[in-house]
């Protein structure tokens, strides 16, 4: 009897392909790699997949000092992976606040980028310095062009975007199938979650990162981690 192809789900082919990609990482980088983890739904998907497959992969998260309390609570519930949590240089943050003001980033894109650099980029660069490969959950249907493999010249590291060809619907199928916990802010239309002053909920059918740095006019809005 022929199988009804209406029931066919290409998600499982993507899972098989993802497994091959991870085997490539383990075969070629001698455990000298790390997952850059923002606790996004993409990164949680990867963490859970690693857990199911019993892949031991180092992962880190940067607590900028401005993240949602809900994100902190969610981080504390992630029992299935050891995530190294790093903090920025609070002396630099204090100097920034004293010189420019606590919320000066709302008024000037340069000051916003300085704030991002102090709270994230500076410590991020120090963390990844000792690795040969950086794994990310970046996908190609975010507006910035992404490829499977990128070489970051400024940091002298290879970036492997494991979910390059995945759609968010593929990932949420996995969450629903296995009843996996996510940051519950996603249930309140926070489609991309960063620092609390720089993140707001979006309307239905808005671009997924519309709520990040929402006051800025520029079409390309990034903090500088994945450029």
Contact assessment for residue 39 and residue 193, using Cβ atoms and an 8 Å cutoff: yes
Distances (CA, A) of 127 to 37, 38, 75, 131: 12, 14, 19, 8
Q: How far apart are CA 46 and CA 51, in angstroms?
A: 9
pLDDT for 80 equals: 62
pLDDT band with cut points at 50, 70 and 90 for residue 4: very low
Tens of pLDDT, residues 157-210: 999 999 988 888 888 888 888 888 899 999 999 989 999 999 999 988 888 888
Reduced to 3 states, what is the DSSP secondary structure of residue 154? coil
What is the pLDDT averaged over residues 6-15?
A: 68
The CB density around residue 162, as the number of other CB atoms within 10 Å, is: 22
Show Cβ contacts of residue 30 under 8 Å, excluding neighbours closer than 6 positions.
Answer: 132
Q: How far apart are CA 159 and CA 193, in angstroms?
A: 22
Stated length of the chain = 227
Contact assessment for residue 123 and residue 89, using Cβ atoms and an 8 Å cutoff: yes
Tens of pLDDT, residues 15-68: 889 999 999 998 999 889 999 999 999 999 999 999 888 888 899 999 999 999
Superfamily of domain 5-187: HUPs (3.40.50.620)
pLDDT for 3 equals: 41
Residues annotated as catalytic are 223
Contact assessment for residue 148 and residue 158, using Cβ atoms and an 8 Å cutoff: no
pTM as predicted: 0.89
Bridge partners of residue 134, in order along the sequence: 34, 159
Contact assessment for residue 160 and residue 25, using Cβ atoms and an 8 Å cutoff: yes
Tens of pLDDT, residues 103-148: 999 999 999 999 999 999 999 999 999 999 999 998 876 545 556 8
Could you identify the residue written with the tokens 């082919």? 13
Show Cβ contacts of residue 121 under 8 Å, excluding neighbours closer than 6 positions.
Answer: 223, 224, 225
Checking DSSP bridges between strand 157-161 and strand 149-152, what pairing results, if any? antiparallel
């Amino acid at each position: 009897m022929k199988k009804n192809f209406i029931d066919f789900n290409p998600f499982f082919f993507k899972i098989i392909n993802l497994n091959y990609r991870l085997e490539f990482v383990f075969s070629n980088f001698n455990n000298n790699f790390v997952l850059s983890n923002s606790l996004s739904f993409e990164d949680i998907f990867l963490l859970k997949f690693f857990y199911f497959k019993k892949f031991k992969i180092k992962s880190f998260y940067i607590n900028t000092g401005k993240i949602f309390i809900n994100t902190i609570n969610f981080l504390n519930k992630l029992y299935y992976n050891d995530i190294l949590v790093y903090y920025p240089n609070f002396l630099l943050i204090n100097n920034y606040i004293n010189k420019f003001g606590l919320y000066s980033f709302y008024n000037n894109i340069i000051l916003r980028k300085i704030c991002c650099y102090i709270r994230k980029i500076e410590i991020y660069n120090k963390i990844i310095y000792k690795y040969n490969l950086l794994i990310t959950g970046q996908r190609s249907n975010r507006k910035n062009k992404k490829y499977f493999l990128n070489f970051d010249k400024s940091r002298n590291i290879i970036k492997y975007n494991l979910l390059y060809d995945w759609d968010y619907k593929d990932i949420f199928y996995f969450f629903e199938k296995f009843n996996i916990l996510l940051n519950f802010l996603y249930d309140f239309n926070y489609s991309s979650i960063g620092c609390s002053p720089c993140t707001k909920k979006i309307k239905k059918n808005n671009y997924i990162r519309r709520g990040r740095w929402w006051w800025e006019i520029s079409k390309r809005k990034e903090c500088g981690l994945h450029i």
